[in-house]
Structure 1
Amino acid sequence: MTTETPIPTIHEPDTDTITIPRIEYVVISDTDLEKPYRVVIENDEVTPMDFVVEVLRVHFGLQRVRAIAIMLTAHHEGHALVGVYPFEEAQDRVYAAHNDARNAGYPLSFYLEPDE
């Protein structure tokens, strides 16, 4: 008696839509890398407040009370300062926060600006 191994099948998606990720390049000098950058959070009407607080705690190392204060400032004023970091650290923290938000299906957004 012989046993036949089943041949695996490949299922193609039912859509012809291809999503191309948006890539943004930032060119910055070594001098600018040394300067501090402000991380600013923007308010949106979709991301739950408790999720925002958790992202601030996890990715920016904030205590709960401070994270709540920043979240409420952004909620009422449209944006709030999260912290000031060297450029690469700020960029890494924002990337990680955006990644967690997108994976959870939320449009939570941060941006960087030079701290002058």
Structure 2
Amino acid sequence: MSCSQTGSSTRVKPKVKPYKRPNRWSVILHNDDVTTMEFVVMLLKEVFGKSTEDAMTIMLKVHEEGRGVAGIYSKDLAETKMMKSREMARAEGYPLKITIEENE
């Protein structure tokens, strides 16, 4: 018994959405009159893995301009670093304000 096929055999390519990079989020440190510069430098080194030089640069930006970017991460990681930073600041009695902002 023979088997015959009718019609054409065309392949249909599945529609693939182009890769979209996940949005990135900035962790922002805000200046206040209580939190010490030394604490901010320590926080930037311990939580954000900054070198002493980079931590000093960011700390001075926060001090002089009122805010500075500690780092840019995925949303989950930015939230985690923000919460860890807040916990450390509160444990030391500092009112340091830390927020995250979505990058465009």
State the TM-score bracket (shorter-chain normalisation): 0.7 to 0.9
Percent identity over the alignment?
Answer: 36
Is 1:38 matched with 2:26? yes
Task: Give the deviation of 1:82 after TM superposition.
Answer: 1.4
Task: Give the deviation of 1:44 after TM superposition.
Answer: 0.6
Is 1:80 matched with 2:72? no
Is 1:100 matched with 2:88? yes
SS of residue paired to 2:90? helix
TM-score normalised per structure 2: 0.77
State the number of aligned residues.
Answer: 83
SS of residue paired to 2:34? coil
Q: Over residues 10-50 of structure 1, what are the superposed CA-to-partner deviations in whole Å (9 max), with x where a residue is unaligned?
A: xxxxxxxxxxxxxxxxxxxxxxxx31101111001101100
Indicate the structure (1 or 2) with the bigger Cα radius of gyration: 2
Flag as ranges the 4+ runs of structure 1 deviating above 6 A: none
Unaligned runs of 5+ in 1: 1-33
- Supply the RMSD in Å over aligned alpha carbons: 0.7
